[in-house]
Amino acid sequence: MSDAVNETLALLMNHRSIRAYHDTPVSQDQLASIVAAGQMASTSSNVQAYTVIAVTDPELKSKVAKLAGNQVYIEQCPVFLVWCADLYRLKKVTESHLGDTSYEDSTENFIVATVDATLAAQNAAIAAESLGLGIVYIGGVRNQIAEISELLGLPELVYPVFGMCIGYPNQETGLRPRLPMKAVLHMNGYSREQSVEEVKAYDTTTKQYLLERTNGQNDATWSQMMAKRLAEPTRLHMKEFLKGKGFIQK
């Protein structure tokens, strides 16, 4: 295998979301390896501002699934990970070293915690796939985020960024086409024209992909799908919830 397409790149380029799982359990050793790989992700100033909650109890998974939009694969997967941005730990362990002023509730630290959790989760996803497991991210944990936070006992300055189903795949899925590289890779500065023009070819690609995937039932382009998404109010409760949890105060 050449350097241009090594095993790691092949694994990354073969990523697909898995929404059906065998009942084969994920072992504690596998889970530990997956989370350990997540912990080795880059982290801003080594703050490691995240916590991951592994939900394995069937009753608890069922409750989470209902709150996350009745997504049955949350119940089916052996392990459901809830990746949380966590500034609570940082606040508590630094209190004795600080004076009267602290900025754990700043917008910048909110971004740091969210990015830290995301980087760790993606490392974990790759680790899981390297073990023959499949994953799918679940943004639906933010649908009823206050209820899920209460269910999982999340304190102030902790919020669930997303969930992640993990298990042995029980389906074959195709690769979803991505934007042309020129749409996302700009050299030495942002090109407005390049960013927009490259989508035209992608619209054709996604239309054909959907026609094949739905047996001719859906021929929407990516632009049309994104317009529909932007036209619908989505999780407008997030700002109030995050402020109520102590985030983005400064």
pLDDT in tens, 47-96: 999 999 999 999 999 999 999 999 999 999 999 999 999 999 999 999 99
Same domain, 166 and 137: yes
Same domain, 10 and 55: yes
Same domain, 126 and 18: yes
Can you give the residue range of the structural domain that contains 102?
Answer: 3-174
Same domain, 62 and 123: yes
pTM here?
0.94
Q: What value does the mean pLDDT of the chain take? A: 96
Dist. CA 163–CA 65, nearest whole Å: 10
pLDDT of residue 1: 46
The domain tally of the chain equals 2
Residue 205 lies in a domain: yes
Dist. CA 164–CA 38, nearest whole Å: 13
- Split at pLDDT 50, 70, 90, the class of 174 is confident
Residue 248 lies in a domain: no
- Report residue 14 as tokens: 């073969």
Q: Do residues 116 and 43 lie in contact, with contact meaning Cβ atoms separated by under 8 Å? A: yes
pLDDT of residue 120: 98
- Split at pLDDT 50, 70, 90, the class of 36 is very high
Strand, coil or helix: what is 9?
helix
Q: Computed over its alpha carbons, how large is the radius of gyration of the chain?
A: 20
Q: What's the mean pLDDT in 184-189?
A: 97
| pLDDT score of 115 more than 70 | yes
Residue 243 lies in a domain: no
Dist. CA 130–CA 175, nearest whole Å: 17
Same domain, 215 and 160: no
pLDDT of residue 4: 67
Same domain, 147 and 204: no
| pLDDT score of 2 more than 70 | no
Q: What is the side-by-side strand order in the sheet with 50-55?
A: 50-55, 79-86, 158-167, 134-138
Residue 148 lies in a domain: yes
CA dihedral sign of residues 36, 37, 39, 45:
positive
| pLDDT score of 5 more than 90 | no
Same domain, 134 and 165: yes
What percent of the chain stands above pLDDT 90? 95
Residue 225 lies in a domain: no
For residue 64, the domain's CATH number is 3.40.109.10
Phi first, then psi: give them for residue 116, nearest 5 degrees.
-55, -45
pLDDT of residue 240: 98
What percent of the chain stands above pLDDT 70? 98
Dist. CA 161–CA 141, nearest whole Å: 8
Nearest to 157 by CA among 217, 213, 95: 95
